[in-house]
Amino acid sequence: MSGNDAGTTRTASCQCGTVALAMTGKPIVAATCYCHSCQAAGQAFDALPGAPGTLGSDGGTPFLLVRKDRIEWLSGTDQLDEHRLTPDSPTRRFVARCCNSPVALEFTKGHWLSVYSVRIPADDRPATEMRTMVKDRPPGVELPDDIPNYATPSGKFMWRLLKAWAAMGFRAPTIEATKGFAR
């Protein structure tokens, strides 16, 4: 997909293909997160029977952040379970119960969906542009300097989120309101 081609579509799906979504246009950013929440969720998901791995060997979770108005659920939304680390957590993770595949993470007050990069076919998966929350990475993990490593969400990361939100007219639709979501 060309970085400037707003009409191009990527797909992501669970391990068995029951749950699938399409993402149209240029993503907000491809990032790997090392926050404690992503590590805890990844460890729990990776322990599920038959689940595909979500955590990298360095403890990071690669995501592709996509505007919610550019998401279309193609199939399987009736197979999604919502997981929160705590009952009042503002983030929820969607896991396909058919094959225990984590598919995406939503900051419920946000305008984007963070799709687990491993759910996108390797040939269509954008390279990670930055690592974020590296201050929380597991002890002893040394990260290469091939891309920026930010201790916290960087100004660049936040600027991309803000630009995407402005382009959406400062709206933050719910996932349930996205096309094809049948809950």
Which pairs from 173-176 meet CB under 8 Å and 24+ separation? Answer: 173/68, 173/69, 173/111, 174/68, 174/108, 175/68, 175/71, 175/94, 175/106, 175/113
**pLDDT for the residue numbered 3:** 44
Distances (CA, A) of 30 to 40, 86, 93, 115: 20, 26, 18, 10
**pLDDT for the residue numbered 2:** 40
**pLDDT for the residue numbered 6:** 64
Cβ atoms within 10 Å, residue 133:
23
**pLDDT for the residue numbered 183:** 59
Element (H or E) spanning 83, and its range?
strand 80-83
Burial readout 22-53 (b: 16 or more C-beta within 10 A, e: otherwise)? bbbbbbbbbbbbbbebbbebbebbeeeeebbe
Which of 86, 85, 93 shows the shortest CA–CA distance to 19? 93
42 phi-psi bin (left φ>0, alpha ψ -120 to 50, beta other):
alpha
Print pLDDT tens along the chain (183 aa): 344 456 789 999 999 999 999 999 999 999 999 999 999 999 999 999 999 989 999 999 999 999 999 999 999 999 999 999 999 999 999 999 999 999 999 999 999 999 999 999 999 999 999 999 999 999 999 999 999 999 999 999 999 999 999 999 999 998 887 777 875
| Residue entry with tokens 């305008």 | 111
- CATH number for the domain formed by residue range(s) 9-177: 3.90.1590.10
Q: Provide the whole-model pTM.
A: 0.93
> How far apart are the C-alpha atoms of 179 and 4, rounded to whole Å?
23
Q: Kindly report the backbone phi and psi dihedral angles of residue 106, in degrees, each rounded to the nearest multiple of 5, phi listed first.
A: -120, 125
> How far apart are the C-alpha atoms of 34 and 38, rounded to whole Å?
7
**pLDDT for the residue numbered 5:** 53
